[in-house]
Amino acid sequence: MDGRRAAVRDGLGVGVAVGVSGLAFGAAAITAGLSVAQTAVLSLLAFTGASQFALVGVVGGGGGLAAGTLGAVLLGGRNALYGLRLASALDVRGWRRLLTAHVVIDETTAVATAQQGRAAIRAGFYSAAVTLYVTWNLTTLLGAAGAARLGDPERLGLDVIGPAVFLALLWPRLTSAPDGVRAQRWVAVAAMAVAVAATPVLPPGVPVMLAAATALPALLSRKAAR
Comparing 93 with 134, the larger pLDDT belongs to 134
* % of the chain beyond a pLDDT of 70: 72
| Secondary structure letter of residue 156 according to DSSP | G
Average pLDDT on 187-191 reads: 75
Answer whether 189's CB lies under 8 Å from 154's CB. Answer: no
Supply the mean pLDDT for the chain. 78
User: Which residues 6+ apart lie within 8 Å of 25 measured at CB?
Assistant: 39, 43, 49, 52, 53, 56, 136, 140, 143, 162, 165
Residue type, 149: R
Cα–Cα distance, 37 to 151 (Å, whole number): 16
Report H helices in the chain: 2-19, 22-31, 36-45, 49-60, 65-76, 78-90, 95-102, 106-113, 118-149, 161-175, 181-198, 206-213, 215-225
Inter-residue contact 163 to 57 (CB < 8 Å): yes
Burial of 107 (0-12, 13-18, 19+ CB in 10 A): buried
| Rounded mean pLDDT, 145-156 | 68
Residue-level pLDDT at 77: 77
| This model's pTM is above 0.75 | no
Per-residue b or e along 179-217, where b marks 16 or more CB atoms closer than 10 Å to that residue's CB: eeeebbeebbebbeebbeebbeebebbbbbbbbbebbee
Q: Is the pLDDT of residue 191 over 90?
A: no
Is residue 212's pLDDT more than 60? yes
Confidence of residue 223 (pLDDT cuts 50, 70, 90): very low
Tell me what percent of the residues of the chain surpass a pLDDT of 90: 23
Residues 8-54 pLDDT 10s: 998 998 888 888 888 888 988 888 888 999 999 999 998 988 788 87
Angle formed by the axes of helices 118-149 and 106-113, nearest 10°? 150
Would you state the pLDDT for residue 203?
64
Q: What is the pLDDT of residue 215?
A: 64
Residue 90: closest CA among 65, 62, 121, 116: 121
| pLDDT exceeds 70 at position 220 | no
CB 195 within 8 A of CB 63: no
151/181: higher pLDDT: 151
What is the per-residue pLDDT across 60-118, written as a single tens digit (0 to 9) for each? 777 777 767 777 777 777 788 888 889 899 989 888 899 999 999 988 988 898 888 89
